[in-house]
Amino acid sequence: MNEMKIPEHIAIIMDGNGRWAKKLGLNRIFGHKTGVKAVRETVEICGEIGVKYLTLYAFSMENWSRPSDEVEALMSLLIESIVKETAELNRNNVQLRTIGNLSVFPENVTVKLNQAIEFTSKNTGLVLTLALSYGSRWEITEAVKEIATKVTTGEIKPESINENVIEQYLTTYNMPDPELIIRTSGEQRLSNFLLWQGAYSELYFTAVLWPDFRKKDLLEAVDEYRKRERRFGKTGEQIKQEKD
């Protein structure tokens, strides 16, 4: 694929694991397990086509309210996958990061996660960020709290607060906004994912259920993205002139 207009940052809402399993008459957990293969393929293809940042919505803040056996199975799967996949990620020069409220995770999960993050921290290839116990409203609320505290102590002047300042207090302070947000499973909503960062993202929805998502599906999304005209409030004519 020609390198032109490959998004620097792709974010994916990996949805449809439960329905995938149900279709086969299996437990939802089986869908989550099979979804790991789709993650592997997506990481590989993003590396191959030169995407720099891949952010995967793996567990939302709202997902804590699922039945406890499903939450427990997801936690075990998370540990298992990290342990199994880290060496391969490292071989591929992938740097692992997380965003979300990790403080609410069981300690055995955070220990393994932090080990993997530390282990891959010097890698210079794809930055793979897992959104875990993530919610945009939580993230923005935390940013507001931190900024307000600094206003109280005089470290920040209210009149100096602008979009750039706010961005520095979001969990994504060290990455660009995603140009493309993909959601699988046919649902067309953001479910509290990257609300600030996605202000001008191109949205791509596919009916493919996450466990079935393959390299070709990612390439289709990127192809569609490349056909879009990103106008950022300007007119189509202005955009054409800028290109000439």
- Bridge-based pairing state of the strands 127-134 and 53-60: parallel
**DSSP notation for 67-115:** -HHHHHHHHHHHHHHHHHHHHHHHHTTPEEEEES-GGGS-HHHHHHHHH
Mark the segment that binds Mg ion (CB under 5 A) among 7-15, 71-79, 83-91, 227-235.
7-15
* Ramachandran area for residue 204 (φ above 0: left; ψ -120 to 50: alpha; else beta): beta
Tell me which of ligand IPE, Mg ion, none is bound by residue 30, counting a contact when its beta carbon lies within the kind-specific cut-off of 5 to 8 angstroms: none
Q: Angle of helix 68-91 relative to helix 107-119, nearest 10 degrees?
A: 10
15 near Mg ion, rule: CB under 5 A? yes
Mask of contacts with ligand IPE, 30-59, x by CB under 6 A? Answer: ---------------------------xxx
| Sign of the torsion formed by the C-alpha atoms of 213, 119, 73 and 127 | negative
Mark the segment that binds ligand IPE (CB under 6 A) among 97-105, 135-143, 187-195, 226-234.
187-195
Catalytic: 63?
A: yes
Adjacent-strand bridge partners of 95: 127
What does the block give as tokens for 132?
A: 């875990």
| CB 16, min distance to ligand IPE, A | 4
Pick the catalytic residue from 2, 17, 27, 63. 63
60 near ligand IPE, rule: CB under 6 A? yes
Pick the catalytic residue from 15, 17, 177, 217. 15
Please, which residue, 50 or 186, has the CB nearer to ligand IPE?
186
Contact 21, 191 (CB under 8 A): no
Amino acid at 235: T
Amino acid at 29: I
Mask of contacts with ligand IPE, 209-228, x by CB under 6 A? Answer: -x------------------
Please, which residue, 132 or 143, has the CB nearer to Mg ion?
132
- Residues 96-155 close enough to bind ligand IPE by CB under 6 A: none
- Give contact residues for Mg ion (rule: CB under 5 A): 15
- Give contact residues for ligand IPE (rule: CB under 6 A): 13-19, 57-60, 63, 74, 185, 187, 189, 191, 210
